[in-house]
Amino acid sequence: MTQILSETYLDYSDILIRPKMGINLNSRKDVTLERMFKFKHGQTRTGLGVFNANMATVGNFVVAAKLLARGMFATIHKHYSADEIGTFFDSCRGQNIPLDNLFITIGLKNADAEIQKLKDLESKHKWTANRNICIDAPNFYIQKALDVLARVRKEFPDAVIMAGNIASGDICLKLLDYADIIKCGIGSGSACLTRKQTGCGTPMVSLIVECADIAHSVNGHICADGGIVDIGDICKALCLNADFVMAGGMFAGTDEAEGEIITKHFETNEMVDGTHVVQTKYFKAYYGMSSEYANNKFAGGMSNYKTSEGRELLIPYTGSLDKILQDIGGGIASCCTYIGAASVKHMAKCATIIQVHNQLNKVFEKYSV
């Protein structure tokens, strides 16, 4: 019989973090953003648990280097060759950018070649200590995903392995036999069409609570991936017990994201001397990794048994990534002062989450400049 769960599954827009008295923090400067992660399979890493998505647009070297330089975590997408990654390693080493929190992404499709790429990094590019691997599949429920994960763990017993994506707690324990971090989130991404095309997905807030509870019970970690609209959503994810948060769209409008700035001219309703005033706006392209565009670019076209589960977007150009990264640190620190958390690690313990019907005042939205 089909089972219908009647409990309402919540998303970021359904909740707020209620400010409350806690330990006395005089300033955001007093908040410790860094946290030490002790992983299930023996490794430790230290940093602020914010990742860029391992997508072609924002999982590039420039974006990754900026997150790493700020003490965050970073991924690079799976379409780079070992030699390209090696050159990136050298450039980071030359600039004193630590590589300890960099995750190299591999997919499932050509597992042999992908594992060979990791071995090449090891033998040719001094990828010998603090190795981190992100095994990425839109749907980690298939047996092949588990097989590749088990194989990668066997080949790299001392690596930190992040695996996903999944969208229910039931699979977490199985994956944590081999993985350290479970990447949670299906259908929440801003360039994602999975919910439209398949009807599948789980709202992020309930998913984080469910998966974190299970993963933490066996010393596993989770990364909340997709659906971050505002920095407040990162704070919410951390307060809900996510260890890491991954964002794509938030970084996609920056100078550092892949692709040129696209200029568009729009005729407005405002008239001057009988002609419409023309407004110029700037954009950058952002596309899902399962979009037709990505399939054409990286997989030689769309297979005839597939539907596109990602879309192409033109999103507003937002300038330098530095500003957003600073705002992320500032937003998280400020959240901590509202709830009396001395450090990011204590956010979930200190937070009270409230379910709301209305979270933002949008009365002047159309006047924003």
Contact stretch for ligand 5GP (CB under 6 A) within 91-99, 121-129, 166-174, 187-195: 187-195
* 211 included as an active-site residue: no
221 token code pair:
């970690």
Between 220 and 253, name the residue whose CB sits nearer to ligand 5GP: 253
- Rule CB under 6 A: is residue 189 a binding residue for ligand 5GP? yes
Question: DSSP assignment of 227-255, as one string?
Answer: ---SHHHHHHHHHTT-SEEEESHHHHTBT
Q: Is 197 left (phi over 0), alpha (psi -120 to 50) or beta?
A: alpha
274-to-29, 92, 264, 271, 295 alpha-carbon distances in Å = 54, 56, 22, 6, 46
Give the per-residue contact string, 96-135, with ligand 5GP (x = CB under 6 A; - = no). Answer: ----------------------------------------
From candidates 82, 224, 289, 344, binder to ligand 5GP by CB under 6 A: 289
Three-class SS state of 307: coil
- Rule CB under 6 A: is residue 246 a binding residue for ligand 5GP? yes
Minimum separation from the CB atom of position 33 to ligand 5GP (A): 20
- Rule CB under 6 A: is residue 13 a binding residue for ligand 5GP? no
Between 256 and 339, name the residue whose CB sits nearer to ligand 5GP: 256
- Rule CB under 6 A: is residue 247 a binding residue for ligand 5GP? yes
Q: Which helix (H) or strand (E) holds 298?
A: helix 292-299
- Rule CB under 6 A: is residue 226 a binding residue for ligand 5GP? yes
Calpha distance 226→190 (Å, rounded): 7
From candidates 13, 165, 254, 295, binder to ligand 5GP by CB under 6 A: 165
Name the nearest CA neighbour of 73 among 95, 91, 93, 99.
Answer: 99
CB 51 within 8 A of CB 73: yes
Name the nearest CA neighbour of 224 among 251, 250, 210, 204.
Answer: 204
- Rule CB under 6 A: is residue 190 a binding residue for ligand 5GP? yes
- Helices 204-217 and 231-239: crossing angle in degrees, nearest 10, is 40
Contact stretch for ligand 5GP (CB under 6 A) within 61-69, 248-256, 268-276, 355-363: 248-256
Minimum separation from the CB atom of position 184 to ligand 5GP (A): 10
Minimum separation from the CB atom of position 162 to ligand 5GP (A): 11
Calpha distance 231→326 (Å, rounded): 11
Minimum separation from the CB atom of position 144 to ligand 5GP (A): 18
From candidates 57, 60, 101, 194, binder to ligand 5GP by CB under 6 A: 194
Give the per-residue contact string, 50-89, with ligand 5GP (x = CB under 6 A; - = no). Answer: ---x-x----------------------------------
From candidates 203, 227, 232, 329, binder to ligand 5GP by CB under 6 A: 227
From candidates 171, 192, 224, 245, binder to ligand 5GP by CB under 6 A: 192
Residues in contact with ligand 5GP, total (CB under 6 A)?
Answer: 25
Catalytic residue among 172, 184, 192, 223: 192
Q: Which helix (H) or strand (E) holds 111?
A: helix 111-124
Question: DSSP assignment of 12-50, as one string?
Answer: GGGEEEPP---S----GGG-B--EEEE-TTS-EEEEB-E
211 CB-near residues (< 8 Å, 6+ apart): 166, 168, 169, 172, 182, 184, 222
Question: Residue 164 forms beta bridges with which residues?
Answer: 136, 183
Calpha distance 315→360 (Å, rounded): 21
Task: For the segment 293-322, give every residue that binds ligand 5GP (CB under 6 A).
Answer: 309-310
Please measure the distance between the N-terminal and C-terminal CA atoms of the chain and give it in whole angstroms: 53
From candidates 49, 107, 203, 288, binder to ligand 5GP by CB under 6 A: 288
Catalytic residues: 192
Binding site for ligand 5GP (CB under 6 A): 53, 55, 138, 165, 185, 189-192, 194, 225-228, 246-250, 288-291, 309-310
